[in-house]
Structures are given as structure tokens and as C-alpha cells.
Amino acid sequence: MSVNKQSRKINYELIISVSAVFMSLLAVIVSIQQTKIAREQQKSSMWPHLETYNTHPDSNSYSMILVNQGVGPAIINDSKFIFVKDTIFDFSDLFEKNLINNGLYTDLWKGKILQAGQSIDLVTFKHKAEIDHFNQYIDKNLKSIKINYSSIYGDCWELIQMENGFF
């Protein structure tokens, strides 16, 4: 009879041991899931979202504006302004090549940061003749604008404006 009591004791110990290992594995899996969810929430709380818009071109001043409508900073990786005959990487090229005159511009260099809610005037013109010249040149020559940007976590997006979808 003493043999049966010992085998039952071993079986209970085995069951308790297996249960403890199973509960430990389950706790590790739950912890990994919670960490993944927390990381996703952290990333989503810092998403940038760039948008472009223009002030009214029929007024006496005109601006092409880039704004970060997201909840986190947008880090500019690169920008391309694709024209019929050329690709430029910032508006200073348009002014340096004398294709556009007498306006103010802001370049989008690599590493430039737009905070959440921040906007910048990419191009500004203060006189009707300059506005008309700019719009005519852009209407005839611009094919698309591409701005590649990322969040502080390295997730990347690209703002693409095709011809006649921007101006």
C-alpha cells in the first residue's frame, strides 16, 4: 500500500509543476502582447501628417503652405518638385535659375523638422504680377511634388501632389 501513496504524491507534484510552467508561459505571452500594444500606442501618439494648401491666388498676396496636421513632429527626408523638363529639390533652384522672380521661399532640407501644428510658407508672393507669373509657370510645367518625411520612430510617409492637384 505504501507504493500507491508515493505514486499519487508524485502525480500531484507533476501536475502542480506542469501547471506552474504553463502559467509562467502564459504570463510571458501576455506580457509580450502588452508591450506590443504599448509600443503601437506610443508610435501612434507621435504620427505626423503633412498637408499642403494655398492662400487664394486672386488676392494681393499668395502663399503655398505646408502644414503638419499630425500629433507628432515630421522630419523631412527629401523633397522633389518634378517639372516637365527638370527635377528640383527646393524652391531656391527656381529662383536661382530665374524661372521665378521676386518671391520669398523656404527650402525643405533633409532633417528639417515641422512640429505638430506648425506650418511654413514654401513660397510667398506679394504682388499680383508675381502671383500670376508663378501660377502660369507652375500650371504649364509642374508635374508633381513629393515630400518624403518620417516620425521620430523612423516610420516613413510620402506626400504626393500630382499636377493640378496642388495649385
* Rounded CA separation 151/157 (Å): 9
Q: Would you give the end-to-end CA distance of the chain in angstroms?
A: 94
Average pLDDT, the chain: 84
pTM of the full structure: 0.73
Are 82 and 145 in contact, with CB atoms under 8 Å apart? yes
For 84-134, how does the pLDDT look when each residue is reduced to its tens digit (9 = 90+)? 888 888 777 777 776 666 778 888 889 999 999 999 998 888 888 888 888
* Rounded CA separation 103/134 (Å): 9
For 128-160, how does the pLDDT look when each residue is reduced to its tens digit (9 = 90+)? 888 888 888 888 888 888 999 999 999 999 999
What residue type is assigned to position 124 of the chain?
T
- Per-residue CA distances from 36 to 31, 72, 137 (Å): 9, 20, 49
For 48-59, how does the pLDDT look when each residue is reduced to its tens digit (9 = 90+)? 999 988 887 667
With a cut of 70, say whether residue 73 has pLDDT above it: yes
